[in-house]
A = this chain, B = another copy of it.
Amino acid sequence: MQSNEIIKCILSRTSVRRFTQAPVSPVQIDTILHAAMSAPTGVNRQPWEYYVIQNKEILKKLAAALPYAKMVANAPVAILVCGDTSRFLDGEDSTLWVQDLSASSENILLAAHALGLGGVWTCIYPHADRMEAAREILSIPNSLVPFNLIPIGQPMTEGNPMKKYTSAKIHTI
């Protein structure tokens, strides 16, 4: 059954922090970005933009500035996911962009895994210091909010998915 391969992909994804030096191709990056922009968003606002960083010096600067993103220095590419404030909703819905970008980020990780690559979600938002560091290094305009940074590359080793499923977390009604 075709669907088994997809379920297998979702269940076997792991956070990949060590990469070989194998390059990530432009087609692979484009496929991952198509997946990123296929996530659902509140009121279809699509409040996202993406920085695709392959410049080694910039990757090293980000790794040095962001506390949990050291592995970015050794990744062939990293994607910085940003919120586009001009597309944020108003009032009580003004924080929904966080949910939208998180769904988009999961699509990035799954698409990378589907392509035989791997990545890891390194958190930027809501940490003011990390947001400021990313903004400065990449000259990000004030209209965008740095959300997370996802290094992507060929995994150094095969991942061993954590067993996280537990029936104790399920309530049947």
Chain B, Cβ-Cβ closest to A104: B106
- Pick from B9, B127, B138, B173: contact of A53, CB below 8 A: B173
Contact call B58/A173, Cβ cutoff below 8 A: yes
Chain B, Cβ-Cβ closest to A96: B123
- Pick from B7, B46, B99: contact of A114, CB below 8 A: B7
Question: Cα distance A84–B171 when bound, in Å?
Answer: 13
Contact call B51/A114, Cβ cutoff below 8 A: no
Contact call B173/A38, Cβ cutoff below 8 A: no
Contact call A33/B173, Cβ cutoff below 8 A: no
Interface check A116, CB cutoff 8 A? yes
Contact call B7/A171, Cβ cutoff below 8 A: no
Within A102-126, which residues are at the interface with B (CB < 8 Å)? 102-103, 105-107, 109-111, 114-116, 120-121, 123, 126
**Min CB gap A59→B, angstroms:** 9
Contact call B162/A44, Cβ cutoff below 8 A: yes
Residues of B within 8 A of A165 (CB): 33-34, 37-38
**Min CB gap A74→B, angstroms:** 17
Question: Cα distance A115–B96 when bound, in Å?
Answer: 27
Within A83-106, which residues are at the interface with B (CB < 8 Å)? 84, 92-93, 95-96, 98-100, 102-103, 105-106
Interface check A24, CB cutoff 8 A? no
Question: Cα distance A98–B11 when bound, in Å?
Answer: 21
Residues of B within 8 A of A84 (CB): 169
Which 6 A-B pairs give the minimum distances between C-beta atoms? A102-B102, A6-B114, A103-B106, A3-B114, A99-B102, A106-B106
- List 5 other contacts, CB 8 Å, given A37-B169, A138-B173: A6-B114, A10-B107, A10-B111, A49-B170, A51-B173
